Amino acid sequence: MTWWKCQIINGSTLMPFTSLADMWWRTIKTAFQGSEATRQKFAKALRTKFYPMHLQKQTQREFLTLKREDLCMVEYASKFTKLSRFSLEYVATDRVSTLRFEEELALYIRNQLAGQQAQFS
């Protein structure tokens, strides 16, 4: 077992991260069964448990200030998608996410998109 795959529990015991996730999943699994379970609720619970709040806030700030500027379209789309996963309240629906993405596109691209009808699920 390597140190970077472990976490110290109660000051002394090394436990693999996968074991921590397994233990957490066993205790919370029943809450995610049934009609009220959604991917977003699960993602939020997972982030709360394993992603420190200060990193969540930092990632959220990075998403809110994301500008296309010198990024090529593929880089911008990739970064937008990656950061939006941690800012679900700002991209609650496909429509909101698409509008937010389009805000940073060049004007000539936005004008071309304006004539197309978007399909939202």
Q: What is the pLDDT of residue 58?
A: 92
Please give the torsion angle defined by the CA atoms of residues 53, 55, 61 and 66, in that order, rounded to the nearest 10 degrees.
-150
Q: What is the pLDDT of residue 66?
A: 92
How much is the pTM?
Answer: 0.58
Q: What is the pLDDT of residue 12?
A: 52
Sites in the chain below the pLDDT cut of 50: 1-10
Q: What is the pLDDT of residue 89?
A: 83
Whole-angstrom distance, CA of residue 3 vs CA of residue 16: 9
Q: What is the pLDDT of residue 80?
A: 93
Listed residue (83, 78, 84, 76) closest to 106, CA to CA: 76
Q: What is the pLDDT of residue 18?
A: 65
Q: What is the pLDDT of residue 86?
A: 81
Q: What is the pLDDT of residue 6?
A: 45
CB distance 80 to 102 below 8 Å = no
